[in-house]
A and B are shown apart, each in its own frame.
Chain A
């Protein structure tokens, strides 16, 4: 009765309505991702979770699982493309891990470790992006934003506040705040909001909590993101 699909030759059960990502996660198969989070509506934009479904590239986080699908996930070619996409995310912003408070807890960095990314490969863009330190408790460093929209979705779907949105087109894409001044301080965001904790990178940080856990003792300093993603509770995964 159970429906199945195969990922890299392994039979995986799924239920109707599940995406490939959901079926894989339930079966403890890791598919790299950054914009996906199991608690929120999938977005399908980072393209790290691209898998080959019956020979065609599909985003695992949005593509529905179906009986008999042959999915390729953990292959050399696919991971090579994922590495390049990760490198794109690095060069597009200003990501300097050694000086970032998020280092060791950063999913962008962790995915890069996982994919064995050893350099930026592409020329750096060095965009000029401002910081928003106006809020008493929360800081936005736009230099590290990867446009995953997790803060947008968390604010809408869980906090019921709609504090964030993406604006602009193409390479000019940027995160904006829903206040007349455009500043975070005028928004309804508080430090306890889900949106303040969901950022996979160091773009949204809680003030006065920096370095409470020393560098070297953080999650991805010791664990591969594939294990963390599948085994730790999502609440922990967020930090």
Chain B
């Protein structure tokens, strides 16, 4: 093992910033990070072992204890649940003789849930040793079980199990016009980089991750900082459940995204860029690497790009299963080889980012749009959309509709038109912007896709009338509790309390005061949390409580107080110890007798 690790760490030039990549390789080889590996890596990298343990315990894809030779993870997104995930994971569990969340005794296989894998338009989905499984069916489960019992390496499994389609259903200005290799960069050079920045400003481009900060302003801030080094980071940690557009953009439009990054680098004066790719998308790594290679060969990356005297390289870094790393400062921490904990701000990344240097972090789609604007100018982009939201937005549409997939819509399009385009009927409501966004009911479909009305990073999940809204609320609330980084008290404890409180109500243990308590807790977590995760974790509850108070009220018992647990069940141990099972040894849940 030491020889393997020595070689691995040397390949990473003994950089502590590469810790995640090093741990990914060890995890892939041994299906966990053995303690001897921790000690050895700590020694060579001169890091405290506790730092490495901290990182391992932070990311879902690293383990201190052995996982199966076949590590199976099934996507726990609401969209997978709507496609029948629960029955499929039960089937897998039964056929493989392994309980969910455990490793089989012989160590052959482990099975667990994982947060949304970004394959919502072709679910139920999952991962086996990091390889994506799509469109799972009972038949496919049978096949997988057989392959595992044959001990066939995952690399030799039939390709159809891993087939991923892009499902691009509607294109507009960004996805229609083909962009010749290097054309945006050439145009930016010809125009001049200062003038290109002005062009981006005129285009009105705002960050496509969801928050909508003005792109040109961010670049301008970074550019103005006095520093010897600056960085450009592309945020491809697409973790918001229901979002998968960046996966498609990187699969089909990677050149354009990299070109946008290169234009950004030329504008702000950066020489190093990073693509932070979520661990779930590791299957894109080889393809993206070869595209980077091709760009270097074409003189579009590397030294003296296009003979203009500036240099820029892009490195791809993989995440390891942590939604929080989509938050820009947590992403930077992760890139530095740390736990993905959002930083205290100020200072902001534009002044103190990666390794303390000025850094811009933008979404995949933002760089794609920037390349488009660099090539075509701002006019055609700025003419689309609304006054405050220029251009188009690329949506990942999934859930109850005939044609899930990728859609490019002009900002300002009504939700009604979007629902029509994707073949959604009998709509109950739409979750816009994922769990951290807003739920709107079918009465609100005249509202518009725009930063000033309904903003989204891309997630667009449709629910029809057969769905129970509280299923999604419960799923989302559990998701946030699972993904909270645990740094600040209101989110660490608050998201777990929200989970308990919503479960209490949904399981029928709620009473009169519980909705008020829930709402109070929501406001506290929202207003007091350190970062966007905590600040939006209560949104699923708040936005449905506002629209469907009766859904919640209906579940309450008509008593003033109900304990949050099964009273009679809690006495089971006492009954066993006293060997009693008579009527007096049982207690009715308070109040049931009064109804």
A170 near B495 (CB under 8 angstroms)? Answer: yes
Question: Are A171 and B488 touching (Cβ within 8 A)?
Answer: no
- Given the interface contacts A45-B488, A92-B492, A123-B564, does A169 sit within 8 Å of B58 by beta carbon? yes
In the complex, residue of chain A having the shortest beta-carbon distance to the beta carbon of B55: A167
Q: Complex: how many Å from CA A167 to CA B33?
A: 15
> Could you tell me if B493 and A88 are in contact, using CB atoms closer than 8 angstroms?
yes
Q: How far is the CA of A64 from the CA of B48 in the complex (A)?
A: 31
Among the 9-residue stretches B148-156, B160-168, B425-433, B522-530, the one with 4 or more Cβ atoms under 8 Å from chain A is B522-530
Task: List residues of chain A with CB within 8 A of the CB of B57.
Answer: 167-169, 172
A84 — which chain B residues lie within 8 A by C-beta? 524
Closest to B56 in A: A167
Binds A, one of B119-127, B276-284, B478-486: B478-486
Q: CB distance B484 to A44 under 8 Å?
A: no
Is A171 a contact of B496 with CB atoms below 8 Å?
A: yes
Contacts of A171 in B (CB 8 A): 481, 484, 486, 492-493, 495-496
Across the interface, which residues of A come within 8 angstroms of B35, CB to CB?
Answer: 180
A89 within 8 A of B: yes
CB distance from B494 to the nearest CB of A (A): 7
B100 at the interface (CB under 8 A from A): no
A170–B527 CB distance below 8 A:
no
Interface residues on B, range: 35 or more
1/0 per position for A43-67, CB-CB distance to B under 8 A? 0111110100000010100111000
* Minimum distance in angstroms from B107 CB to a CB of chain A: 24
Query: Which of A46, A164, A166 is within 8 Å of B489, CB to CB?
Result: A46
Q: Please classify how large the interface on chain A is, using the bins under 10, 10 to 19, 20 to 34, 35 or more.
A: 35 or more
List, in ascending order, chain B residues with CB within 8 A of A48's CB.
489
- Given A46-B489, A88-B497, A123-B500, decide whether A166 and B54 contact each other with a Cβ distance below 8 A: yes
Q: Let me know if A91 is at the binding interface, CB within 8 A.
A: yes
Cβ A47 vs Cβ B528 within 8 A? yes
Q: Does A227 contact B (CB under 8 A)?
A: no
Q: Which residues of A contact B492 (CB under 8 A)?
A: 92, 147, 170-171, 173
Of chain A, the residue at the smallest CB distance from B499 is: A171
Given contacts A45-B488, A180-B35, A165 and B528 within 8 Å (CB-CB): no
Nearest residue (CB) in B for A176 is B50
| B486-A147 in contact (CB<8A) | yes
Which residues of the other chain, B, contact A165 by a CB distance below 8 angstroms? 48, 50-51, 53-54
Q: Which residues of B contact A167 (CB under 8 A)?
A: 50, 53-54, 57-58
Are A81 and B493 in contact (CB-based, < 8 A)? no
Does A162 touch B at the CB level, under 8 Å?
yes
Whether the Cβ atoms of A89 and B493 lie closer than 8 Å is yes
The reply on A190 being an interface residue by CB < 8 A is no
Is B53 a contact of A176 with CB atoms below 8 Å?
A: yes
Residues from chain B with Cβ under 8 Å of A25 in the complex? none
* 0/1 interface trace, chain B 232-260, chain A, CB 8 Å (1 if under): 00000000000000000000000000000
Cβ of A195 to closest chain B Cβ, rounded Å: 13
In this complex, which of B49, B50, B500, B564 has the most chain A Cβ atoms within 10 angstroms of its Cβ?
B50
Residues of B within 8 A of A169 (CB): 57-59, 322, 339, 484-486
Is B177 among interface residues, defined by CB-CB distance under 8 A?
no
- Complex: how many Å from CA A91 to CA B51? 28
CA distance A178 to B339 in the complex (A): 17
Q: How far is the CB of B517 from chain A (nearest CB, A)?
A: 9
Query: Is the C-beta of B487 less than 8 angstroms from some C-beta in chain A?
Result: yes
Chain A residues, Cβ within 8 Å of B180: none
- Most-contacted residue by chain A among B346, B484, B489, B495 (CB, 10 A): B489
Contacts of B497 in A (CB 8 A): 88, 91, 122-123
Contacts of A172 in B (CB 8 A): 57, 486
> Is B490 in contact with chain A by the CB < 8 A criterion?
yes
Contact with A along B500-541 (1 / 0, CB 8 A): 100000000000000000000100100111100000000000
Question: With A88-B493, A167-B53, A178-B50 as given contacts, are A46 and B58 in contact (CB-CB < 8 Å)?
Answer: no
Name the prevailing secondary structure of the B interface residues.
helix
Q: How far is the CA of A47 from the CA of B323 in the complex (A)?
A: 22
Residue pair B54, A88 in contact (C-beta under 8 Å): no
Contact partner of A50 among B39, B50, B528, CB < 8 A?
B528
Complex Cα spacing A15 to B367, Å: 40
Closest to B504 in A: A123
Q: How far is the CB of A94 from chain B (nearest CB, A)?
A: 14
Give CA–CA (A86, B346) in the complex, Å.
25
Q: How far is the CA of A169 from the CA of B50 in the complex (A)?
A: 14
**B466 proximal to A (CB < 8 A):** no
Chain A residue numbers with a CB within 8 Å of B495 are: 170-171
Output the nearest chain B residue to A43 by Cβ-Cβ distance.
B344
A contact residues around B484 at 8 Å (CB): 169-171
Q: Does A42 count as interface, using CB distance less than 8 angstroms? A: yes
CB of A16, distance to nearest CB on chain B (Å): 14
In the complex, are the beta carbons of B48 and A178 less than 8 A apart?
yes
**Chain B contacts for A123, CB-based, 8 A:** 497, 500, 564
Contacts A57-B527, A88-B493, A167-B54 hold; do A45 and B49 have CB atoms under 8 A apart? no
In the assembled complex, which residues on chain A have CB atoms less than 8 Å from the CB atom of B486?
A: 147, 168-173
Nearest chain B CB to A160 CB, angstrom units: 13
CB distance from B338 to the nearest CB of A (A): 11
List of A residues within 8 angstroms of B59 by Cβ: 169
B485 contacts A170, C-beta separation under 8 Å: yes
Residues in A whose Cβ lies below 8 Å from that of B521: 122
Is A85 interfacial (CB-CB < 8 Å)? yes
Which residues of the other chain, B, contact A81 by a CB distance below 8 angstroms? 524, 527-528
B523–chain A nearest beta-carbon distance, Å:
9
- Whether A59 lies near B344 (C-beta < 8 A) is yes
Chain A residues with Cβ below 8 Å from B564 are 123
Chain B residues whose CB sits within 8 angstroms of the CB of A177 once the complex forms: 50
Q: Is the CB of B490 within 8 A of A168?
A: no
- Nearest-neighbor residue (CB-CB) of A64 within chain B: B346
Per the bound structure, the CA–CA distance linking A44 and B54 in Å amounts to 19
B53 to A, closest residue via Cβ: A167
Determine how close the nearest CB of chain B comes to the CB of A58; give it in whole angstroms. 9
Q: Which of B540-595 contact A (CB under 8 A)?
A: 564
Question: Contact between B488 and A88 (Cβ–Cβ < 8 Å)?
Answer: no
| B residues adjacent to A (C-beta < 8 A) | 35, 39, 48-51, 53-54, 57-59, 322, 339, 344, 346, 481-490, 492-497, 500, 521, 524, 527-530, 564
* Between-chain CB contacts (< 8 Å), 15 pairs: A44-B488, A45-B487, A47-B490, A57-B527, A81-B524, A81-B527, A91-B493, A125-B496, A167-B57, A168-B58, A170-B485, A170-B492, A171-B481, A178-B50, A180-B35
Which 4 interchain pairs have the tightest Cβ spacing?
A165-B50, A88-B493, A173-B486, A62-B344
